[in-house]
Amino acid sequence: MHTRTPLRPVSSAVERLVDNQEVAGSIPARDTQFYGYKHWTLEVIPRCFYVGKGQRNRPWSKARSSKWKAVVSRYGLRVEICVGPFSNEEASTWEIKTIVAENTRSNEYCLVGDDIRCNFTDGGDGVPGRKLSSVAKALIGDAQRGNQSRLKRNKSFVMHWSDDL
């Protein structure tokens, strides 16, 4: 018969951080999980077209703008993790400075000519780890119902809705 081992008493600052308990004078573990990254083309002379900050798998995420997807489709993608782990504030500062240094800021939302720059803001924005309330989720769901472009993308969703009408 397997018995559970008793939990050890918390004996160090590291263990307290793991348990999501703050230790005076330290940064909680959840605030130091940000990385700064760059997206480069796979050309003979690579060009940086996007600078970002994120957690976990965000640097490799393909959930991006249509311009970003067009650049990746045409030129390929190499992800470079540059800095981290940082706090959100440190990563935001790095992102703002690096967008300027790499000149990846653009106001053009479509791939036009040779403008492959895909940062549409100055950086440092976004809401990390944001959790939507059930009320907010319901409002978003209500707003999306009847959105024809969304319905066309998902035929099973269209079939589901046509049965209800």
The count of C-alpha atoms lying within 13 angstroms of the C-alpha of 143, restricted to the half-sphere facing its C-beta, is 6
My answer on whether 107 and 165 are in the same domain is: no
User: Would you say residue 15 lies in a domain?
Assistant: no
- Residue 23: its H or E element: none
Domain span at 105 = 26-127
| pLDDT at 116 (0 to 100) | 96
My answer on whether 122 and 140 are in the same domain is: no
For CA atoms 49, 54, 58, 60, the dihedral sign is positive
CATH number, domain containing residue 101: 3.40.1440
My answer on whether 106 and 136 are in the same domain is: no
My answer on whether 97 and 150 are in the same domain is: no
| pLDDT at 155 (0 to 100) | 52
Alpha-helical segments (H) within 13-123: 13-18, 66-75, 88-102
Q: How many domains does the chain have?
A: 2
Q: Distance of CA 154 to CAs 14, 37, 137, 157, Å?
A: 46, 32, 19, 5
User: What is the mean pLDDT of each successive set of 10 residues along the chain, which is 165 residues long?
Assistant: 45 35 43 88 97 92 94 96 92 95 94 92 76 76 69 50 45
My answer on whether 39 and 105 are in the same domain is: yes
My answer on whether 140 and 122 are in the same domain is: no
The CA angle 24-26-31, to the nearest 5 degrees, is 125
- The terminus-to-terminus CA distance of the chain in angstroms comes to 56
What's the pLDDT tens digit per position in 72-84? 999 999 999 999 8
Bond into 85 cis (ω within 30): yes
The predicted model scores a pTM of: 0.63
- The DSSP secondary structure of 60-74, one letter per residue, reads G-----HHHHHHHHH
